[in-house]
Structure 1
């Protein structure tokens, strides 16, 4: 009888047991041994390096990427032009209904001035987005626009009042209109979805980066999957947000985070397991990794929102690339691994016999072939930056065994 496939995910706190490094947990090893695929989230502590959760080599570790759509708040100016901002305001009505006086309020730091402009549409230069939105909410302003380039703007688009975030580039049109018009006015519309935005996907700024502190010789994350602004079903006894002080409820919600990316990978792994029931969890992980895409929808290398100055995301942010469900069904070759392979890795990492038994529940194993070079579908090498002379050349060799899972060709 085929063992069941359980798909687990989460970014909970690292498990510290028996004095072992984070997430080297015996329950996950037991799942792997029974053919159960486990997907885990990297966490939401990016973009700095070495903050990745769940770097365990026998699980598949998922980072978050953006999607090719925006949930918009559209500003219709009195001169007939329109600006697309970002907003997840879920209150009613779905627009301001009529044009309101439009006024620029600087940083929106003066609450008294905000209260005097309460029944207008105000524009804030929100260099500190959290502060500006808090000020406007406290002053009970009717409608607000926030000019912001914040990397973390996805965390603030779920407004409890009619509001939208405007990019600094688009804000120039709004500010020029305010300065030129004797009676500047604007209307704001919500619940608009813009499809086909470019470039996409991009690595989300918040997604945690490698290398893994618990097992640095295995490259993590493995891949990225859709994680920003994900629409999914929601428990109807839990609020999705507020309209001013009133709780809102819906069977659906839009959430961002690596906990949104992880279920995408888990679901695709379930699809692969259904089509290839004899594949191990390592084979499924290999299929996901080796078929991932490193290009966005402009056919350029996928970029990293956390490091705008870089031409492309590094493997410590993106792994091998963005998950590709259909390609993963036919990877051609896979890098498989068994419990014995992981034990050899633990031996090479200088785990004691007692610790290895606690992790694997294996009471008979051999450390004579210990190796840090796990049969994994990626490679990572560490070099001493102080050795710069030509005579200090360093070479690291990797050995891999592949298994043909495609059509046999002579």
Structure 2
């Protein structure tokens, strides 16, 4: 369709997340009901259609970005990316370099190919690359048993609840479709003992039963919850209560009800399993992703003529939809960037990015390290969550920032061994100077590569410059969370500032043997002011992961 209208819904959802106005009574068929509001509700939104049903062209992506620059936008939110191309073939990298030159902040999505390392797109050093995390909110359904007991589980089924109690039958693994089809009008119970939940859901969906209860220890249920048929997902402990009732009753019955929302759930946030992981193939020397923002099961606006989902009875339409992905995380960060730009109009794109990154949270709402669903709920590493979870209020006053300008990025392109033509493709200018190539960008994070074999001691050094945007007279002291097996030093370890916007430089050195016990280890450098007002945190990561850069290097 040759129309600027959103025929898919993705663009409407992301735009309203970034800057949607207040809407009372919003919900997804009763789930997440309340007043919907974007991150920057008073911002003006300009939408540019770059992807079409008839096909996707890189020229359309560049043209959309160019038009936004002409129109004078302050922030770009780009929830799309191109995989496996160097910067000079990447329309997002090319278009956003022009945005950088105009002082426009750009937020991009990391991609949805996790939890495998090296799957991230938009590893562009001059944009913010956003990973997806969960929220402290769950959507629920309830199983009402014939003995009067009710058990709450997870569900996002948008249809109606079952009208009355019907027979409930335990079908073990629910692998026999012939038997399942004979149970129409009944609720079936399936037990996932060997990670066969996906097959079980598919089998039940084809059986036309009245509903289903799935008992599983799988904690990555996000894409199972919005089922086409009535379904509730229970953990093993709650599931046992259902099984005990079925065994003890001569005529067990149950009823399923839906549309519940539970707030304040713990632990949260967690890294979504699908969120793409670094390192970036296009530039592995700059740690990506940069930060994590809410991307799991996000409620936002949806075009009324585009179906939000499909159930057994047919398509459903609604003004709001709940969907997931780094596409949903990206506009959260873009909206916060718009708020920061409103408070600090003089901040550069790098300054805004730095403020968001160095003030991010690394602890969840249980005061423990943020965990990673894709890593079996172990502690998340910076290649999954970047510097941590976005904290908008802290980003307003970061204390120190890591700034970078056009020449810094050009020096990086030179160090990637790009030739003049390739650099010109990115910068759209022939006036560049490669006399000072450097892979050591002034960035709020550190990544060091070590060989996977060998036992010689290796030292890697990084140089950084920070700008004081806090109190005129302030002193910051370096505090280190060490890397297992490495010696990390910071010189100097104290930075004294006498005035605002004063700059100070330091060096960080990582020393250790090439062989790592694990494929990666990480720690943190925090600059803490002596007044106790600011903690400027940067992750430090050492890894033996092999990344073949798209510029031809192999590290």
TM-score with structure 1 length normalisation? 0.94
- Aligned equivalents of 2:322, 2:377: Cα separation in 1: 29
- Aligned equivalents of 2:252, 2:351: Cα separation in 1: 61
- Aligned equivalents of 2:429, 2:400: Cα separation in 1: 29
- Aligned equivalents of 1:25, 1:68: Cα separation in 2: 33
**1:121–1:145 contact (8 Å) kept in structure 2:** yes
Alignment of 1:295-314 (within 5 A): 295-308=363-376, 310=378, 312-314=379-381
- Aligned equivalents of 2:92, 2:210: Cα separation in 1: 51
How big is the shift at 1:36? 1.1
The corresponding residue for 1:328 is 395
How big is the shift at 1:328? 0.6
Alignment of 1:10-409 (within 5 A): 10-14=79-83, 16=85, 20=88, 22=90, 25-92=93-160, 95-126=161-192, 127-150=195-218, 152-308=220-376, 310=378, 312-388=379-455, 392-409=456-473
- Report the RMSD for the aligned CA atoms in angstroms: 1.8
Q: Which string of whole-angstrom CA distances, capped at 9 and with x for unpartnered residues, describes residues 119-166 of structure 1?
A: 111111243333222222221111111223445421121122211222
> Are residues 1:7 and 2:7 paired?
no
The alignment partner of 1:136 has SS state of helix
How big is the shift at 1:51? 0.6
State the structure with bigger RCO (CA 8 A, min sep 6), 1 or 2.
1
**1:14–1:23 contact (8 Å) kept in structure 2:** no
- Aligned equivalents of 1:206, 1:33: Cα separation in 2: 33
- Aligned equivalents of 1:250, 1:24: Cα separation in 2: 32
Q: Which string of whole-angstrom CA distances, capped at 9 and with x for unpartnered residues, describes residues 320-349 of structure 1?
A: 100001111111111011110000111111
- Aligned equivalents of 1:241, 1:349: Cα separation in 2: 45
Structure 1 alignment gaps of length 5 or more: none
**1:344–1:369 contact (8 Å) kept in structure 2:** yes
Consecutive aligned runs of 4 or more in structure 1 exceeding 6 Å deviation: none
- Aligned equivalents of 1:207, 1:365: Cα separation in 2: 35
Q: Which string of whole-angstrom CA distances, capped at 9 and with x for unpartnered residues, describes residues 216-275 of structure 1?
A: 000000000001111111111111112313211111111111111111001101110111
**2:88–2:423 contact (8 Å) kept in structure 1:** no
- Aligned equivalents of 1:188, 1:229: Cα separation in 2: 22
Structure 2 alignment gaps of length 5 or more: 1-70, 474-497, 499-555
How big is the shift at 1:16? 4.2
Q: Which string of whole-angstrom CA distances, capped at 9 and with x for unpartnered residues, describes residues 185-235 of structure 1?
A: 222110000111110000111111111111000000000000111111111
- Aligned equivalents of 1:23, 1:74: Cα separation in 2: 47
Q: For this pair of structures, how many residues does the alignment match? A: 402
**2:412–2:437 contact (8 Å) kept in structure 1:** yes
- Aligned equivalents of 1:25, 1:46: Cα separation in 2: 21
- Aligned equivalents of 2:92, 2:414: Cα separation in 1: 13
How big is the shift at 1:15? 7.7
- Aligned equivalents of 2:82, 2:443: Cα separation in 1: 25
The alignment partner of 1:25 has SS state of helix
